[in-house]
């Protein structure tokens, strides 16, 4: 059996969410773009009705804003369905997926601490990876971070930034 | 009354830093808090400062145990981005190394699991037969660990014709011993009593927490990248996916033991059918775009995402190790069991905290060894191994 994305599913997506723009990179890699208000409903539809598995999410700091990609996968056909959304930089907020999808818990915490995106409705947005003494407003994966903090001085007493 | 029992960050049983806060009522665990981040090294930050060809060397050092899986997933991601298909021979070589690594990693876990339950005989026996495999790696690629076999567009080293019989010889030995372990471990009433019905992760929880690898397959959640999204030589060989429904620690142990048999099968077929030809295609440029690579590592699905803007460096490189999902599922797996079971349940997902640190200078007796001296020692040992296998 040749494994690739299912055309019926994409047709159903187009019907239910007409604003989604779909780009097919290769038979098993599909990228979809959607506005940030619709991400919650769309992800809920994919997880609860289509039984997709959330593999991980990626946060990228781009010129247009903060881009978040949710990588969902359908294991029966081995296809990745990636949902992309862009959040404007002056309003870094998006609805959290954790209430219905526990797998999103850690990655949302990670994106919150490394990129500074607020996930509304997340039960516990504590830093996951960085040290306790790390400044909460320093997000290492943002573009402006590398310019401002080329030389980082460590306070020997606390282990945090001086 | 609720009390807190801390395990970690430094604990004699767990070699790697991770902090589990068990909240207990009497002997029973009612809740669990997990703190990680003692080992954060910022790979995703470093990666965009390196060129495409330098990144495999960086990601190889994310993990010391499954050091083949991260570069493997990374090169698959870049090849997906650039629409490159590596030559068939290199695909077989990569598959062989990936499967041999699975055997060595599962044996490492099995030995440690024996050690965790106080059954040191299992630990010593299993590791005795893991050791020749590491020697085999050194013989083929010059390193016991960090094999550096993956390269964008192919493999970096060929497996020589004269090494084939040595691999076959080891597989014969392993097949016999793996059957022995399977029988010894599954027939032992003490091990059964210790592992059965402990740390049950139900299928619903496995799906909600999106666990991968043997942790998922032990809970009846049949996902395996090698079957679902076959890459390289995996769709050209015949093997079975091992799935058990129970979800307890014993089921996970069974999955790992029986998977070793399947790995032996895959390596045998690859050695038999390996085509001749070149081992790499030249990749000059990575076009703008994005790519996803996934590889079934011993612990589950490794996921790499790269984005390119056409320059010689990635713009963004996302790495997801399987333990990132598996460790989080401990919160439900450990609930309701006693404190004595907790250490075993936490270890049953085969957690990998990516701990390897590299050392350049160390002192033994009076002689100071530099990096060069250590390299020389390593070469000498490889030569010794070659002589031994010649006899």
pLDDT, tens digit, 9 for 90 and up, residues B269-278: 999 999 999 9
pTM of the full structure:
0.89
Least Cα distance to A56 among A122, A118, A109 occurs for A109
- Positions of E strands within chain B: 2-7, 19-25, 28-35, 150-151, 154-155, 289-297, 300-308, 314-320, 362-364, 367-369
Q: What is the pLDDT of residue B156?
A: 92
**C-beta of residue B258 within 8 angstroms of C-beta of residue B175:** no
Q: What is the pLDDT of residue B359?
A: 33
Residue B357 has pLDDT above 50, yes or no: no
Candidate from A71, A78, A114 with C-beta closest to B229: A78
Residues on chain B touching A69 (C-beta within 8 angstroms): 305
**C-beta of residue B307 within 8 angstroms of C-beta of residue A45:** no
Partner A contacted by B19 (CB < 8 A): no
Question: Angle CA(B325)–CA(B329)–CA(B327) in degrees, nearest 5?
Answer: 55
B122-158 confidence digits (pLDDT tens): 889 999 999 999 999 998 888 888 888 999 999 999 9
- Count the alpha carbons within 13 Å of B129 in the hemisphere toward its beta carbon: 25
Query: Which A residues in the span 143-162 are in contact with B, Cβ-Cβ below 8 Å?
Result: none
Q: What is the DSSP string of B258-322?
A: HHHHHHHHHHHHHHHHPPPS-SB-------SEEEEEEEEETTEEEEEEEEE-SSSSEEEEEEE-H
Question: Angle CA(B218)–CA(B37)–CA(B325) in degrees, nearest 5?
Answer: 25
Residues on chain A touching B83 (C-beta within 8 angstroms): 26
Q: What is the pLDDT of residue A153?
A: 64
A125-138 confidence digits (pLDDT tens): 888 887 777 777 77
Query: What angle, 0 to 180 degrees and rounded to 10, lies between the N-to-C axes of helices B164-187 and B249-273?
Result: 160
Q: What is the pLDDT of residue B360?
A: 36
Alpha carbon of B51: minimum distance to chain A alpha carbons (Å):
18
**Cα–Cα dist B53/B59, whole Å:** 11
Alpha carbon of B358: minimum distance to chain A alpha carbons (Å):
21
Partner B contacted by A141 (CB < 8 A): yes
**C-beta of residue B146 within 8 angstroms of C-beta of residue B63:** no
Candidate from A53, A75, A140 with C-beta closest to B42: A140
The CATH architecture assigned to A7-93 reads: 2-Layer Sandwich (3.30)
Question: Angle CA(B147)–CA(B150)–CA(B154) in degrees, nearest 5?
Answer: 140
**Cα–Cα dist A139/A129, whole Å:** 12
B117-128 confidence digits (pLDDT tens): 888 888 899 999
Q: List every span in chain B annotated with CATH 1.10.645.10.
A: 41-315
Partner B contacted by A64 (CB < 8 A): no
Q: What is the pLDDT of residue B358?
A: 29
Please enumerate, by residue number, every residue of B annotated as part of a binding site: 44, 63, 66, 319, 352, 355
Q: What is the pLDDT of residue A159?
A: 64
Alpha carbon of A61: minimum distance to chain B alpha carbons (Å):
9
Taking CA–CA distances from A3, the nearest residue in chain B reads B229
**Cα–Cα dist B21/B2, whole Å:** 12
B276-314 confidence digits (pLDDT tens): 999 999 998 999 999 999 999 999 999 999 999 999 999
ipTM associated with this complex: 0.89
Q: What is the pLDDT of residue B363?
A: 40
**Mean pLDDT score of chain B, rounded to an integer?**
87
Residue with tokens 């056409």: B310
The CATH architecture assigned to B41-315 reads: Orthogonal Bundle (1.10)
Residues on chain A touching B328 (C-beta within 8 angstroms): 102-103, 105-106
Give B12's pLDDT tier (boundaries 50, 70, 90). low
Q: What is the mean pLDDT of the segment spanning B106-111?
A: 91
Q: What is the mean pLDDT of the segment spanning B160-177?
A: 93
């Amino acid at each position: 059996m040749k494994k690739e994305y299912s055309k019926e599913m994409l047709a159903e997506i187009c019907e239910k969410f007409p604003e989604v723009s779909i780009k097919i990179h290769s038979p098993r890699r599909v990228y979809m773009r959607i506005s940030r208000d619709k991400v919650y409903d769309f992800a809920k539809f994919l997880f609860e009705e289509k039984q997709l598995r959330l593999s991980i999410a990626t946060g990228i700091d781009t010129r247009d804003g903060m881009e978040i990609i949710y990588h969902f996968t359908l294991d029966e056909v081995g296809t990745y369905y990636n949902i992309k959304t862009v959040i404007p930089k002056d309003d870094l907020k998006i609805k959290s997926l954790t209430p219905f999808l526990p797998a999103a818990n850690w990655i949302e915490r990670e994106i919150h601490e490394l990129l500074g995106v607020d996930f509304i409705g997340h039960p516990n947005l504590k830093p996951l990876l960085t040290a306790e003494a790390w400044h909460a407003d320093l997000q290492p994966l943002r573009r402006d971070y590398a310019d401002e903090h080329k030389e980082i001085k460590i306070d020997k007493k606390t282990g945090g930034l001086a | 009354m609720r009390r807190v029992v801390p395990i970690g960050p430094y604990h004699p049983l767990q070699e790697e830093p991770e902090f589990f806060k068990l909240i207990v009522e009497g002997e029973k665990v009612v809740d669990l808090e997990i703190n990680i981040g003692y080992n954060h090294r910022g790979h995703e930050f470093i990666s965009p400062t390196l060129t495409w060809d330098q990144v495999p060397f960086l990601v190889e050092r994310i993990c010391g145990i499954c050091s083949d899986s991260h570069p493997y997933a990374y090169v698959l991601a870049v090849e997906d981005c650039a629409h490159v298909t590596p030559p068939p021979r290199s695909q077989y070589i990569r598959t062989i190394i990936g499967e041999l690594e699975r055997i060595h990693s599962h044996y490492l876990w099995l030995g440690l699991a024996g050690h965790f339950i106080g059954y040191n005989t299992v630990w010593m026996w299993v590791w005795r037969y893991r050791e020749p495999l590491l020697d085999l790696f050194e013989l083929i690629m010059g390193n016991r660990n960090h094999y550096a076999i993956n390269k964008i567009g192919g493999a970096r080293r060929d497996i020589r014709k004269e090494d084939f019989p040595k691999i076959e010889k080891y597989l014969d030995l392993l097949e016999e011993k793996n059957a022995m372990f399977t029988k010894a471990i599954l027939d032992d009433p003490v091990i059964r009593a210790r592992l059965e019905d402990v740390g049950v992760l139900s299928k619903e929880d496995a799906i909600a927490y999106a666990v991968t690898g043997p942790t998922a397959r032990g809970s009846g959640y049949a996902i395996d990248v090698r079957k679902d999204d076959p890459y390289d030589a995996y769709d050209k060989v015949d093997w079975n996916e091992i799935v058990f429904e129970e979800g307890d620690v014993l089921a996970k142990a069974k999955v790992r033991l029986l998977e070793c048999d399947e790995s032996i099968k895959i390596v045998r077929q690859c050695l038999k059918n390996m085509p001749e030809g070149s081992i790499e295609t030249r990749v000059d440029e990575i076009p703008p775009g994005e790519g996803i690579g996934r590889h079934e590592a011993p612990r589950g699905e490794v996921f790499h995402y790269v984005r390119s803007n056409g320059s010689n460096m990635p713009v963004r490189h996302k790495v997801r190790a399987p333990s990132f999902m598996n460790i989080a599922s401990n919160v439900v797996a450990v609930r309701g069991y006693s404190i004595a079971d907790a250490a075993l349940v936490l270890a049953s997902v085969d957690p990998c905290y990516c701990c390897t640190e590299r050392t350049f200078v160390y002192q033994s007796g009076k002689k100071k060894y530099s990096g060069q001296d250590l390299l020389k020692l390593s070469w000498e040992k490889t030569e010794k191994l070659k002589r031994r296998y010649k006899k």
